[in-house]
Amino acid sequence: MESMLAASLDSPGTLVLEKRPIPALGPRDVLLAVEATTLCGTDLRIATGQKTNGVAPGVVLGHEIAARVWRIGSDLTARIDVPAPGTQVGLAPEIACGHCAPCASGHSNVCANMRLFGTGVDGGLADLIVVPEEALACITPVARDIAPPHLALAEPLSCCLRATSRLPIEAGSRVLVLGTGPIGLIHCALAVSAGARVMACGRQARLEPARAMGAEVTTAAQGEDLVREVLAWTDGVGPDVVIIAVGDPGLVPIAAQCARIGGHISFFAGFPAGAMAQIDPNLVHYRELTVSGSANATLDDYAAAVDALSRGRIDLSPLITHEYELSDVHDALEAVRTRAGLKVAVRPRGVSAP
């Protein structure tokens, strides 16, 4: 194999498929053969030029990555923390610096000097991906091999795990998930796996998938109608936890109206730049609400996600509704744009053993 196929950003809004030389392997680098990369809205925004901040010119897109170790650098052959060639692995996209104030305080997920595979560093929409020495900790081996598209979901799962680890979700809890895109559906599955009862609110077309992920009640209601339905579901008390899983600022006051006294509201979704939301401060004050945010994931969160998926403790396979070859990446992105399904996976044709 002398060259590989890659989907790179020629310029903002212009994604091109091109043949590239196999990346050079430094003595402390690892070369992975990509098995699958799932796509999300961020990939679409980068590909269409809507997102440019932090995006390196010519970068290979893709940050939800399942791969297999293909080659390791000559200085790594004796290191027990580097998986051997042939090992199936997930690749966490966040490359944290490890020394800034957020990293020092345990918040490497919001590192001040963060670099990301698929944004500033070549990502997974390619046959091969080189992992430089400073990112070796991002490589996470599986407990046992699983379908690559399912393993690629470790990235969104890790972000959801980070949020739920900070919320009082347990057996008997009532959880309201606002948004039934893939992220909202993962939150449904996590809450159900913890023994919680779940109500999901979203677009009509996504309500059946929410029920498939364990939601006992689903609705497409909005505004005051939604508040009434939520209160009816909880016998007038309100849910213990409300997770905002879609970036709609209009959901913020609704979440505050729904949450029970002493309840928790999670701002999980990313909101549009400059977005503002209004909330009645007396609802927070008199109802003693806890409002928290959650962004990205740490390497520990990612390792927990890979472990949960590869040991079968959570099954997200119903989320994979479309698969495309890497050569059809533009069709894959169009499927994301038109919301043709839930999660779209892109799979290279594969490379032979080194």
Q: Is residue 161 in a domain?
A: no
In this prediction, residue 292 carries a pLDDT of 96
The CATH number given to whatever domain includes residue 320 is 3.90.180.10
Question: Two tokens at 352?
Answer: 């032979």
Evaluate whether residue 86 is within a structural domain: yes
In a domain, 162, yes or no: no
Residues 221 and 264 in one domain: yes
Query: Tell me, what amino acid is at 69?
Result: V
Residue 353 falls inside a structural domain? no
> In terms of domains, do 178 and 85 share one?
no
Q: Is residue 271 part of a domain?
A: yes
Residue 272: predicted pLDDT: 87
Q: How many CB atoms are closer than 10 A to CB 205?
A: 10
- Residue 352 has a pLDDT of 61
Whether residue 151 sits in one domain with residue 62: yes
Q: Answer whether residue 354 shows pLDDT above 60.
A: no
Query: Quick check: 336 and 44 in contact, CB under 8 A?
Result: yes
Q: What angle do CA 240, 246, 252 make, to 5 degrees?
A: 55
Same domain, 134 and 44: yes
Above 70 in pLDDT, residue 1? no
Per-residue model confidence as pLDDT tens digits over 72-96: 999 998 788 899 999 999 999 999 9
Same domain, 190 and 318: no
Whether 314 and 260 map to the same domain: the answer is no
Looking at the fold, whether 242 and 189 belong to one and the same domain comes out as yes
Predicted confidence band of residue 258 (pLDDT cuts 50, 70, 90): very high
What percent of the chain is predicted at pLDDT more than 90?
91
Rounded mean pLDDT of 284-307? Answer: 97
pLDDT score, position 78:
77
Q: Does one domain contain both 173 and 314?
A: no
Crossing angle for the helix pair 223-233 and 251-258, to the nearest 10 degrees: 30
Residues 313 and 331 in one domain: yes
Q: pLDDT band at residue 99, thresholds of 50, 70 and 90? A: very high
Q: 154: which residues sit within 8 A by CB, 6+ positions away?
A: 64, 66, 90, 140, 302, 305, 306, 309
pLDDT at 105 over 60: yes
Concatenated DSSP letters for 248-267? -TTHHHHHHHHSPTT-EEEE
197 within 8 A of 172, measured Cβ to Cβ: yes
- 288/176 same-domain check: yes
Quote the CA–CA distance of 25 and 4 in Å, as a whole number. Answer: 14
Q: Which two tokens stand for residue 275?
A: 């977005």
Query: Mean pLDDT, to the nearest integer, of 309-320?
Result: 96
pLDDT score of 293 more than 60:
yes
- Please count the structural domains in the chain: 2
Residue 277 belongs to domain with CATH number: 3.40.50.720
Q: Does residue 352 lie within any of the structural domains? A: no
Is residue 125 domain-shared with residue 262, that is, in the same domain?
A: no
Give me the domain span that covers residue 24: 3-156+297-347
* Same structural domain, 122 and 242: no
In a domain? residue 41: yes
Decide if 354 is inside a domain.
no
